[in-house]
Amino acid sequence: MGIHAALAVHPDSGQGAAARIAGTIASRLREGVDRLDLLVATTVEESRALMARSHDDGLDVLVVLGGDGAAHQGVQFCAARGVALGLVPSGTGNDLARALGVPPDPVRAVGELVEALRSGRRRRLDLGKVRDSWFATVLCAGFDASVTERANRMRWPSGPRRYDLAILGELAAFRARPVLVRTGTEELELEATLVAVGNTPFYGGGIPVCPAARPDDGLFDVTVVGKATRRELVRMLPSLRGGNHLEHPKVRTLRAREISLAGNDWPAYADGEPLGTVPVSVRCEPGALSVVG
């Protein structure tokens, strides 16, 4: 039996880039599959309904053309139904694709994806789980989540610069808060600026907040930044881009299968999507997702 794939297109991704290249990507994908459903949706609800319809027809692979928001929806669908995921990045951040080594150019990415489909090359990845929701990259709470919240409200600029400007906007208002971080073996209670729980290294358009995180080791890498002044945060930001922030004396790191955060009402985000507020508990589910490539 041949491969039945679906291409989920989120037209607004990358300021309309996904819509402009959807035909090219679909044409290329058809070279590697026996059936391709084209799923174009402008809302999450519409996207889920179209995916479910393809699944009912025996879907093998869901290919997502879009950014991290689109990838997040693909992860929810694929993890719950045992469908393999393929990524063709066309968003502003593309942090999951970056972590998995997917080329940033969509045409090159789909070329490599077609080769993987033909050869049957797949791998299993861990996912984080919060209640009934999955995440593939980073769960953040505190300063970084507030920055994400601000960045999501911004319409300009695109890409990493949006996140940089959101950081500057949050610096003026943010204050450290008490937080209790529990794992199965450790407990930290401190005044903190942020906590990032990484299944993969990147968030915010390529910031390696958990630089050593790997999505196939069954564990989260956790970065905790203690109480920091505005001046200390400003000095830390350049090192954050290079992944050198772990050397700062205010930074602690942990590795764990399960993490719980409590002690305040910080916003919490995972894969750049809102998850409510602290308290929150997350666990790593080894091998929960099959990825083509």
Cis peptide before 104 (omega within 30 of 0): no
How does pLDDT run across 50-91, given as a tens digit for each residue?
999 999 999 999 999 998 999 999 999 999 999 999 999 998
Are 141 and 226 within 8 A, CB to CB?
no
Phi-psi region of 45 (alpha: psi -120 to 50; beta: other; left: phi over 0): alpha
- Is the predicted pLDDT of residue 15 greater than 70, yes or no? no
Render pLDDT for 78-136 as a digit per residue (tens, 0 to 9): 999 999 999 999 987 899 999 999 999 999 999 999 999 999 999 999 999 999 999 99
Reply yes or no on whether the pLDDT at 1 is more than 60.
no
Confidence band for 160, pLDDT divided at 50, 70 and 90: low
Owner of token pair 């080769």: 115
Alpha-carbon dihedral sign for residues 178, 183, 187, 192: negative
CATH of domain 135-286: 2.60.200.40
Percent of the chain predicted with pLDDT > 90: 70
> Do the first three CATH levels of 4-120 and 135-286 match, i.e. the same topology?
no
Mean of the per-residue pLDDT values of the chain: 91
Q: What is the pLDDT of residue 91?
A: 84
Q: Is 172 exposed, middle or buried (0-12, 13-18, 19+ CB in 10 A)?
A: exposed
Element (H or E) spanning 107, and its range? helix 106-119
Torsions phi, psi for 7 (to 5 deg): -110, 110
Alpha-carbon distance of 254 to 40, in angstroms, equals: 41
Percent of the chain having pLDDT more than 70? Answer: 97
Question: Which residue from 203, 104, 191 is spatially nearest to 149, judged by alpha carbons?
Answer: 203
Task: Check pLDDT > 70 for residue 14.
Answer: no
Q: What would the two tokens of residue 125 be?
A: 């990845």
Q: Is the dihedral of CA 85, 88, 91, 93 positive or negative?
A: positive
Residue 12 gets which letter from DSSP? T
Question: What single letter denotes the amino acid at residue 60?
Answer: D
pTM over 0.85: yes
Q: Which CATH architecture has domain 4-120?
A: 3-Layer(aba) Sandwich (3.40)
Half-sphere exposure of 202 (CA within 13 A, CB side): 18
Quickly count: other Cβ atoms within 10 Å of residue 230's Cβ.
11
Predicted confidence at residue 3, as pLDDT, reads 95
Domain residue spans of the chain: 4-120, 135-286
pLDDT in tens, 164-221: 788 888 887 788 999 999 998 899 999 999 999 999 999 988 899 999 999 999 999 9
Is the pLDDT at 149 greater than 90? The verdict is no
> What per-residue confidence (pLDDT) applies to 151?
79
